[in-house]
Amino acid sequence: MIALPLRRSVAPADPVAAVLLAPAQVVSLGILLICAQLPQAAYLPLWVGVLGVALVVLRFALLRRDRTRKIALPPWALAIVALAIALLIRKQFGYFVGRDPCVAFLYVLIGIKFLEVRTLRDGTLLVCLAIFLLITPFFYNQSPLAAVAALPAVLATGAALEALGSKQPMPISARSVRAAWLRTATMIAQGLPIAAALFLLFPRLASPLWGLPADRAAATGLSDRMSPGSISELSLSDAVAFRVDFDGAAPPSRLRYWRGPVLSLFNGREWRALSPRAGGRLLEGNAPSVRYTVTLEPDDHPWLFALDFPSTLPEIDADGTRASAGGLAGYSREQQFLTRAPVTQPLRYTLTSLLVDSYPVASAFEMQQNARMPPGNPRTIDFARSLRERFPDNRRYISAVLQWFRDEPFFYTLAPPLLEESQPVDEFLFDTRRGFCEHFASAFVVLLRAAGIPARVVTGYQGGEINPRGGYLIVRQSDAHAWAEAVIDGRWQRFDPTAAVAPSRIERGLFGSVPAGDPVPLFAREDGGWLKSLQLTLDAINHQWQRNVVQFNRDRQRALWREWKVDEFAPWQIVAAVAAGVTAWGIAVLAWFAVRRKRKERALTLWESACRRLARGGLPRMEHEGPLAFAERASRRWPQFEIAFRAIGESFAMLRYGDMAKRESERAALLATLERAIEALPRAGKLRAMT
């Protein structure tokens, strides 16, 4: 058979730039752009997210309405539009040279460029912009869902490149798109060994190459100040603060005080932290200890939460990359670990804590700082003085205060009444008596300071939930807590006034301790049912993902290399091993092609042997006769073998001319059918004798 050339052309001087895009190519580009934009849209201001996609859809609409006329928008008009949008984005973010505004601009720019895309070169540019947009959602979220959301765009990239590279692109239909995605998926699967090797072996950076932008995420979490209502607000959030894997059994809930900012400054209403000063000392002793690894969600603060009280420094699971937030800066006097930079990426660290509830005071100055009383709240001060007269001993006085909380009708609630600006502590202690942990902690510390006992508020998280699916602890924002510590016999001793009012808060968490009508978040409830169970499973998956994929950083990579003894090889040996690996991969893929081809050739060999047998039996195949027609003719000649002939003709026709994308298993089955049917035919001599 002679096939005529499909197309004849004299090569132009600049073949790529000169060629205009066919509608099918524009459509596959558009599909790629939409697939790349959608995962990003959630992290952009609403108008940016909608505008970018709308521009792409607009081009589709133009294409549909008027296929023949060229869409001719003057380039300067689009440049003005782009400039206007850049200004709007500048206005929205307040700055332009930064990660977030640039991502937003790239996102919209793709839509603008798509409006005027005309030549193949434009198409190439758009593909490049779109694949860059593939990684930008990971700035904000590296969950398994985010990874899955990137996959359609990866497949659409292959389809768009295929359309751009094709001289006569097929018209777009659901079927053709599916086929193109399938072809891309096959090629990606073939390239998977290379991708996996690169992921495991490509060296990660020890320190960032360029300055990290000062983008601030509006993360929910604790802050370094506390006023009435600030923690109860946090308690409404199901967001995960951090997860903890314990070496061995987790300590009981009542011992799980996760220390955060320590607040010493009080202005009568708001508590604030002192500026952090180094000088913390790690505890030593024989108290029961626990070793654990915290995976901290980014909260944009330089704090590492630790169980009271650490006996080792945290080993941060990276060295100097962005994820490590600049490394450990120090251990503050208030027993809090600080990083050099705010934590903006998930961060893992491992340390050991002693499960005790007191630690030594650093200095007399520290005691002085924590005894200051602001003016105001006179009723509280009067009450403290009268109580102090009855209990001159510090320890007895504190017990009396806690007892008073216990005896008086104080209520622990998520929805306390609003307090007046001027004397909030007075009002809480003597009028409303309904409050959340920050109210109790604050009032407790004020009562102690009024009696001359140095005391301060400690914020952090308390408790957390053990996920039975993964055996690790989930600490959510709803576990945020405030407690107090006071100096007794030269040691800071932990007191939790909330425990006096609602002991179950400490034992069982939020849900067990607030009135039934309070709006407790779903996952802090105990009666969450299947939804909560599903959520726990998902969280377990997410945790593994964070641990093994997202947190696969320089340290983990080095550890893996050590395990594989990569370090022991000389550089030339590594180069040789990589070259050998790539060669082996190439040979393996080509061999796979060959196996598929062999199967095809085997069909032809079998068919030719059948034809030869029939020819010797007296029925040669005509040149023009296809397998089906020849089988038909043979069946007429030897009706007793009709089934075999049909099987041979049909299976050979399917194997030879059927859809290329057919599954391997089907091909194997067809080949087996062909083989068996030919075996069922009698020898040539017998065939001849039958006629």
Window 9 to 68, contacts with another protein (CB under 8 A): 9-11, 16
Q: In Å, how far are 194, 544, 572, 581, 664 from 557, measured between CA atoms? A: 17, 17, 20, 19, 37
Shortest spacing between CB 104 and another protein, in angstroms: 16
Shortest spacing between CB 459 and another protein, in angstroms: 29
What does the DSSP assignment read for 231-269?
Answer: HHHHTT---EEEEEEEESSPPPGGG-EEEEEEEEEE-SS
Are the C-beta atoms of residues 73 and 39 closer than 8 Å to each other?
no
Shortest spacing between CB 137 and another protein, in angstroms: 9
| Closer Cβ to another protein, 256 or 554, answer by number | 554
Contact letters for another protein, residues 576-595 (x by CB under 8 A)? ---------xx--xx--x--
Which positions from 637 through 666 interact with another protein, judged by CB under 8 A? 660
Q: Which of 315, 431, 489, 601 binds another protein (CB under 8 A)?
A: 601
Any idea which residues carry the catalytic annotation?
Answer: 437, 481, 496
Asked if residue 317 binds another protein (CB under 8 A), the reply is no
- Distance between CA 398 and CA 496 in Å, rounded? 11
Q: Which of 3, 61, 214, 570 binds another protein (CB under 8 A)?
A: 3
Which residue, among 639, 618, 622, 620, has the nearest Cα to 686 in the 3D structure? 618
Contact letters for another protein, residues 112-141 (x by CB under 8 A)? ------------xx-xx--xx-xx--xx--
Length of the chain measured in residues: 691
Asked if residue 552 binds another protein (CB under 8 A), the reply is yes
Tokens representing residue 87 in the block: 């200004």
Which positions from 431 through 460 interact with another protein, judged by CB under 8 A? none
Residues that bind another protein (rule: CB under 8 A) add up to a total of 75
Contact letters for another protein, residues 329-368 (x by CB under 8 A)? ----------------x-----------------------
- Distance between CA 444 and CA 432 in Å, rounded? 15
Which positions from 151 through 210 interact with another protein, judged by CB under 8 A? 154, 157-158, 161-162, 164-167, 183-184, 187-188, 190-196, 198-199, 202, 204-205, 208-210
* Cβ contacts of 84 within 8 Å, gap of 6 or more: none
| Closer Cβ to another protein, 321 or 394, answer by number | 321
| Closer Cβ to another protein, 380 or 651, answer by number | 651
Shortest spacing between CB 655 and another protein, in angstroms: 12
DSSP, collapsed to helix, strand or coil, labels residue 391 as coil
Asked if residue 295 binds another protein (CB under 8 A), the reply is no
Are the C-beta atoms of residues 332 and 260 closer than 8 Å to each other?
no
Cα 383 off chain centre by: 52
Cis peptide before 309 (omega within 30 of 0): yes
- Distance between CA 104 and CA 114 in Å, rounded? 16
* Cβ contacts of 219 within 8 Å, gap of 6 or more: 297, 298, 299, 300
| Closer Cβ to another protein, 80 or 145, answer by number | 145
The secondary structure of residue 549, as a DSSP letter, is: I
Shortest spacing between CB 252 and another protein, in angstroms: 35
Are the C-beta atoms of residues 454 and 487 closer than 8 Å to each other?
yes
Shortest spacing between CB 297 and another protein, in angstroms: 15
Helices 144-165 and 174-201: crossing angle in degrees, nearest 10, is 120
Shortest spacing between CB 188 and another protein, in angstroms: 5
| Closer Cβ to another protein, 193 or 376, answer by number | 193
